[in-house]
Amino acid sequence: MERQLQLTLNGQEVQQGDFNLLGETSALADDRVLAELFRLKYGSATPQKSILPFGVVGNFDDLGTDSTALVHGSNAADAKIRVMPFRAVLGSTTLVGASPLENVRGIRSGIFSGNGAGTVYQSITLGANASGNPRWDLVYAAITPNVDEAGVNRYVKDPSTEVISVQSVVVTKKTAVTVAVSQGTPAASPTRPALPADAAGTYYIALAYIYVANGFTSGTQVTRGLIHEVAPCITLNSAVGGAALEPANQQHKIPGTVDTNQSGALAATLRTGAYIPPTMLGEAKRIILIQNGLAPLSHLDGDVVDNSIDWRFRYFKSFVQVLAGSSTNDAFASDRAATGTIRAGSTVNRVPGTHTMWVPGQSFYSDGAALPINPGDSNGAALLVTDSNLSQMSSGGSGVLMLYVRNTDGALILKKTSAAVYQMIIWLEATGMYSNFGTQ
């Protein structure tokens, strides 16, 4: 545990250092927990810098979608971007040998929570561009640990004269986190502005680059395709059981493999074609049981399967196992009414193409006429199986089951044809949400 202040005698004096110990232990409690969870690089003059974004399930952006975007447009023709809340995390800046304990745990973090004007974001207006060429602007964060906050008036007793007077003293410190924009230089093939160099106890983290075309004015909308997020997002360390699904860093790194190889296409696409944002972190998994034989049926055509999160703008993979039949012998192993010895989910029923299969999917674009069932409001099919793929669906070539993502609210919807009789288990896995996808 941390050092603990202990008073053992009645009337024992309390000194300034005792109160400072209490303040340090409480103020740094969250940072020391984060140090255990993240296991950042040990003390260094150039500490590891990371972002813990708040744009996760349950945090909705201003377009009404469940978004992981750290930086996005305002959805209006006002030349503005919005920077969403995040926690900035710095690895220990204590050099090896100076303090062995702080070398390991001495990280510092601070929360950026917007501008405090009734919003959870900070709105920033980009400068106009009438230069004749496009430019890139850099959105970055500045982190300054151990900053003195504003002084407050306190009564102070002079230890020599014992005269009491009112003085302004600093009683609190904080880790300050601010965001700003560095405007790039216009050019026919513009380069991205450099991140400010760390200096004087302030450290800088790049959050996103914004493509500012020639002719950009105060009435121009910053659309999604103009935003290239690059923030170094942090995940739990594998030493504490973390197993993160995240994009390969070269999908968004500047400069990086994808950026270097595809930069020539920027004039047409603004972002490189193989760009994946660093905020596309984590994954969502669901277990879905469908009884299409035992009455009453578990799901009807068009039913909502899951609407706990926004399933749009993701890649999917699914493992499917199906067993034909309508008796309790064919029910799920978890069904309280199941009987017999070979139930749905049994390892005995494992023949690929008969009982089991792996299926890819996506929810970026409607698959449209390519689908055997076209619901008309699809943002993409997360899962599609037919009895030609799984013979245990047993419908003579006409059975189809599809999970698609509805384009209006991101709900996961079931579509099916025929009265096929089967029990189906679906192990559905999805990537994190691709932030700022589309044209807005």
Nearest one of 78, 25, 27, 85 to 56, comparing CA atoms = 85
Percent of the chain at pLDDT exceeding 70: 92
Instruction: Name residue, tokens 């079931």.
Output: 414
Instruction: Name residue, tokens 């935003």.
Output: 227
Q: Is the pLDDT of residue 9 over 50?
A: yes
Copy the structure tokens of residue 143.
């982190």
pLDDT digits (tens, 9 = 90+) for 160-186: 999 999 999 888 888 999 999 999 999
Average pLDDT of the residues of the chain: 87
Nearest one of 241, 249, 313 to 65, comparing CA atoms = 313
Which of 86-90, 194-198, 392-396, 433-437 is predicted least confidently? 392-396
- In angstroms, the CA 361 to CA 404 distance is 9
Q: Which residues pair with 181 in a beta bridge?
A: 139
Close Cβ partners of 324 (under 8 Å, ≥ 6 residues apart): 293, 330, 392, 393, 394, 420, 421, 422
Q: Is the pLDDT of residue 34 over 50?
A: yes
> Using 50, 70 and 90 to split pLDDT, how confident is the model at 64?
very low
Residue 437 confidence (pLDDT): 85
Which of 179-183, 298-302, 322-326 is predicted least confidently? 322-326
The secondary structure of 110-143 as a DSSP string is: EEE---SSSSSSEEEEPPPB-SSS-EEEEEEEEE
Relative to beta strand 227-229, strand 412-417 is: unpaired
Judge contact between 132 and 121, C-beta under 8 A: no
More confident position, 78 or 28? 78
Which of 63-67, 72-76, 132-136, 145-149 is predicted least confidently? 63-67
> Using 50, 70 and 90 to split pLDDT, how confident is the model at 305?
very high
C-alpha R_g of the chain: 28
Which of 42-46, 77-81, 157-161 is predicted least confidently? 42-46
- In angstroms, the CA 214 to CA 217 distance is 9
Judge contact between 90 and 108, C-beta under 8 A: yes
Residue 97 confidence (pLDDT): 67
- In angstroms, the CA 247 to CA 18 distance is 47
Range 293-309 average pLDDT:
90
Instruction: Name residue, tokens 């929810």.
Output: 363
Range 272-280 average pLDDT:
90
Copy the structure tokens of residue 439.
């044209």
Whole-structure pTM value: 0.87
